[in-house]
Structure 1
Amino acid sequence: MQEILFDPLLLPVILLTSLVYLVFLFNLLTKNKSASTTAEKIISSSVIFILPGVTVFPFDKIHPSALAGHDKTAISAMAQLGLYFVLAFMVSSRIPSFIKSFPNTLKFVLLRNPFLLFLILLTPLSAAWSHTPFLSLKASLVLLGLSLVATYMGSQYSWDELWSRLRLSSGMWMVLSTVFAIAVPSIGRHGKGWGGVVGHPTNLGPIAAMSAVLWGVQLASQKKPSWQTFGITGLSLLVVVMTDSAGALVIFALLASTAIAFRVLKKTSLRWKLVMGFLLIVLPIVASAVVALNLEFLLGLLGKDLTFTGRAEFWPQLINELQKRYLLGYGYHSFWQPWLGAANPAAHIVNANEYRPPHAHNGFLDLALSLGIVGLSFFVISLVANTILAVKHFATYRNIESVLPMIMLAFLIFKNMTETGTWGLRLDAFLYILLSVRLCTDIRRRVYG
């Protein structure tokens, strides 16, 4: 197939034909506002859809992390970048506005959350001290691309548009994961639990919990809830249970408690909204630390065994490795490299069952291994700034959806206590940057409690 596509006689014909179709499509979308809006909604939702790591073909081949792979060929990279260009071309109606407003967006982020920008800038700089400089630089460039897309969506889309796209994407995760778990168990199941289209219950469980709360908040906000809202909320809860993941149940319980607390606080004074809203973010952070320190006991209550995956054994090993390069880390995406054999910095990380983890099973620890205590500190300070902005958003707006920024921040914190992704090339970092930009650029109106 590759030989046919790149045949010197056929290649010009293929390129010319593609160009004709692009011009035709662009002309259609620019003249038909409805078609343009629909195309942009589908494409932006699809971008979010693939980011958790959808393992089903062809989504696994076009995931951004594929560009950062050590075995990515130049031809494959060109094809993937070409697809991205086509998708950007199809949603180009807002790009002029984005370019025009970009300096102001950077100014707002620099003023309200400067440590996010420091963290983004530190990532490509880490190639200078990385164990594998080229791979770190390549992964950093992919992250910068993801950051640009997240900035575009965060600055150009309203809150309603963002929540609509997140709900649509989460609905796609739930429906397709259920279909694959039932119809194609070889793909959709992992042992007793459902892994769906993201490959493993520990990946599917947290996003199912997030989906249940996103759709649940939508359900509570509708005067006459639609059957779609009822259906996806119920399906999300079913998937949470069917993943057989204790972590998913804990995350759902905590996020649902946050949403319920908001309903109780809705009619209180502005002062209490500020105080209690801030606690709704601080308490999950404190609870996360408590859970981390007592994880084995808590999972035992839920019938789970922490030593099965060896976290209790390899977390201390990882902390020992971090102490060797604690200030700036090993470089972005440079610690976990099994293809290097004995030269892999993580070669000695193994538990008593000979299990060699592919990552730290803790997003904050993985961030520290990549960018050291400096990078982790940048993220924590940025998180505090986002918490303050989310509390202000919650206290200012009257609608029920105003709690969602805090819920999403809490989701990212809890998920990364036992899984990774805080600053990876997946959904977590994308959502964090998107929320950060939207919170920093939000034009708030005064609403008194």
Structure 2
Amino acid sequence: MRHLSTLRLGPTRPAAALGAASDAAPWWNAAEGRALCTALAALILTLLLVTFEPYQAVFVGPAGSGNITNQLGYGGLGLAALLIHLCITPRPVAMRLLRPAWVVMALILLLSSTQSIWPDASFRAVVFSLAAMLAMTGALCLVPDERAFRFALTVTALVVLGLSYAGIVLMPSAAIHNEALEAANIGLWRGIYSHKNVAGPVMAALCFAGLYLVRSGQWVTGVAIALLSAFFVLKTGSKTTLGLLPLVAGLIFAGRVFGGRRLPVIVLGLVLAGFALMTLGTVLSPVLYDLLQWAVPGTTFTGRLDLWRFAIHALGPQAWTGTGFEAFWSTPVVRHAEPPFGSSWDPRGIVNAHNGYLDLAIALGWPGLGFGIVVLVILPLVDFVRIGSQGPAATRVADFFLMVLAFTLLNAFLESFLFARGNPVWMTTWLAVAGLHLLPKGRTVA
């Protein structure tokens, strides 16, 4: 009989898992209570990954600012998560959600709206982004154990895959690219999402979920989810995702086999540094640009280098303070700009920098980007190492979170989604960041 290990969130509670069982809630241990909490977790996770606008035919960017559907949806989920933490989440776990770095990051995001030429719109976007992040922590804190987490993850994956494949068959005009403005994408799959570059990374995360389920003994559903997700990635035509998916899976699994927890973190750190130098670094340093052209002549990352140069130049004196959350690309300085001669991109029609780290710097300034890297990169990797020897269940969950985190952090060098509430790729990133923090650290009490 397969053994199901129990994971703990709180440092001293013997019965809480990825979620939050509480001695103060006597109904929790009842089968009905556990089933209800697991179902609610699955519902929240599904809504965050399906989004409130599936089959959106036109890509309008990750934020959806001013959209009443998004505002009601994410605001409602955030309120529900707040009630969950007040009424269900045990106090030790709730206090862990108040991680000082997370609180400071939230304050930086909120204060960035003061730098925007439309402070009300930026402030609203930040609030609903934080609400979506809070909702994800609510889903994590609802599941009573690792088995329940797997159930919620399975339900979410099957719903996303089911709706996406149903769209391909029943509504191809909504689920397959056919826009003349992006002729190169015609015929590529996007499923329920706005763009193939959103669908591809989400499907990659679901593929990692399938691998996690297989390792946990759920062979049928795990293999099905992994194969269906991988095939969908292939049909999106997303070259970045196709390259990163096997790279990340191999990196994490090989590192775990040969070096425990530290080697994967060290290798991932080096890979992230290399990606940073060879992407954004090449527009900041002529030496790095020459090195890139020597190694791969003619590389422009599909014209992104021109876009990054324009953004950094246009940022000008606000490089250290930022231009406000989700504000820069709709400002007059961009909308009325003269495209650089010979540029591959016309910035006047762009909604983001196609580089999540650069967009974070644009919104928050270079210091804000630095702190964002601490929150999204350094602290989660430290959390992964600190998990230590917690048994096979904790190892499998931690590896899943690290694969998702590694993939999205690398993907962010070529796409923008960091802290974007309406972007399910960001939701998978935050799932990994929050999950690694909430997993128990140190010795597990039997």
Task: Give 1:206-355 correspondences, 5 Å limit.
Answer: 206-222=201-217, 225-262=218-255, 264-265=257-258, 272-289=259-276, 292=279, 310-337=303-330, 343=332, 345=334, 347-348=336-337, 350=339, 351-352=343-344, 354=346
The question of whether the paired residues in 2 share the 8 Å contact of 1:273 and 1:394 is answered with no
Match runs of 1:32-111 below 5 Å: 33=33, 36-37=36-37, 39-51=39-51, 54-56=53-55, 65-66=63-64, 68-69=65-66, 72=67, 80=73, 84=77, 88=80, 95-98=86-89, 100-101=91-92, 104-106=95-97, 109-110=99-100
Q: Deviations over 1:334-381 (max 9, x none)?
A: 1122xx6xx254542754464632111111111111111121011112
**TM-score (ref. length: structure 2):** 0.74
Matched, 1:182 2:192: no
Opposite residue 264 of structure 2, the aligned amino acid is G
Structure of higher CA gyration radius: 1
Measured after TM superposition, the shift of residue 81 of structure 1 is: 7.4
* CA RMSD between the two structures: 3.8
**Structure 2 unaligned blocks of 5 or more:** 1-29, 178-185, 283-288
Structure 1 window deviating more from structure 2 (280-289 vs 189-198): it is: 280-289
Q: What are the superposed Cα offsets for residues 204-252 of structure 1, whole Å, 9 maximum, x if unpaired?
A: 1122222212202321332xx4432222211111111111121111121
Q: Matches of 1:164 and 1:298 in 2, distance apart?
A: 49
**What displacement does 1:396 show?**
4.6
Quick one: which amino acid aligns to residue 348 of structure 1? A
Give 1:173's match in structure 2, choosing from 160, 165, 180: 160
Which residue number in structure 2 is paired with residue 21 of structure 1? none
Q: Equivalences for 1:132-211 in 2 at 5 Å? A: 132-157=118-143, 158=145, 161-162=148-149, 164-190=151-177, 191-211=186-206
2:189 counterpart letter in structure 1: W
Counterpart of 1:105, as a letter, is R
Residues 219 and 369 of structure 1: CA distance in aligned 2, closer, same or farther (over 3 Å): same
Question: Are the counterparts in 1 of residues 110 and 126 from structure 2 also a CA contact under 8 Å?
Answer: yes
Q: Structure 1 residues 349 and 421 mapped into 2: Cα distance closer, same or farther (>3 Å)?
A: farther
Cα distance, 1:275–1:131 mapped onto 2, change above 3 Å = same
Q: Are 1:400 and 2:396 matched, yes or no?
A: yes
Take 1:305 and 1:178, find their aligned partners in 2: how far apart are those partners?
A: 34
Instruction: Return the alpha-carbon distance in structure 1 between the equivalents of residues 76 and 338 of structure 2.
Output: 37
Provide the rounded CA distance (Å) in 2 between the counterparts of 1:299 and 1:226.
42
Distance 1:117 1:164 in 2: 30
Residues 361/346 of structure 1: CA separation in 2 closer, same or farther (3 Å cut): farther
Q: Deviations over 1:35-63 (max 9, x none)?
A: 62464144223233234x753279x99x9
Q: Letter of the aligned partner of 1:104 in structure 2?
A: M
Q: Deviations over 1:56-88 (max 9, x none)?
A: 279x99x9944x32xx56xx7886578658x93
Q: Where in structure 2 are the equivalents of 1:375-386 lying within 5 Å?
A: 375-382=368-375, 383-386=377-380
**Residue 403 of structure 2 is aligned to residue 410 of structure 1:** no
Distance 1:353 1:139 in 2: 26
Letter of the structure 2 residue corresponding to residue 125 of structure 1: L
Local SS of the residue matching 1:389: helix
SS at match of 1:197: coil
1:388 aligns with one of 382, 390, 407: 382
Relative to structure 1, the CA distance from residue 64 to residue 345 in structure 2 (aligned partners, 3 Å threshold; closer, same or farther) is closer
- 2:260 aligned counterpart, secondary structure: helix
Q: For residues 77 and 402 of structure 1, what CA distance do their matches in structure 2 show?
A: 31
Aligned pair count? 388
Contact 2:401/2:433 (CA < 8 Å) preserved in 1? no
- Aligned AA for 1:401? V
Give the 3-state SS of the residue equivalent to 2:387 in structure 1.
helix
Normalised by the length of structure 1, the TM-score is 0.74
